[in-house]
Amino acid sequence: VQLQASGGGLVQAGGSLRLSCKVSGRTSTPYTIGWFRQAPDKEREFVAAISWDGSIPYYADSVKGRFTISRDNARITVYLQMNSLKPEDTAVYYCAADSSLGGIAIVPLATEYEYWGQGTQVTVSS
């Protein structure tokens, strides 16, 4: 499976961005899709994830109430709506797919995800 992340950019603090992750290839396989981010000199950290049918979203505490993850009915694109952005949200954002749990469970660990997109830069200015 291939994943392509897009939608990053430069925004002022308090602003919004919507990231997209397009999934191609074996789209009939049930995947959990997750978003992770990595800031310079920091570990890659979990941001949010969503189950195969879109019924189970899960968020890191740092983004809860500000970010919303969703996926379209065709299960081809997963979105991350980011509101009330803060300078500490600045990072490269990656989407990733996990097929090991049948798309019905979420594990917020990067090592759980087999497939990764190329990343999109999000920069929030103060």
Q: What is the mean pLDDT of residues 12-27?
A: 93
Position 77 scores a pLDDT of 94
Q: What is the C-alpha separation between 80 and 66, in angstroms, rounded? A: 10
Per-residue pLDDT at 16 exceeds 80 = yes
CA Rg, the chain, in Å? 13
Q: What is the C-alpha separation between 122 and 77, in angstroms, rounded? A: 19
What percent of the chain is modeled with pLDDT above 90?
80
**Residues 6 or more apart from 60 whose CB is under 8 A from it?**
45, 46, 47, 48, 108
pLDDT tens profile 55-74: 899 999 999 999 999 998 78
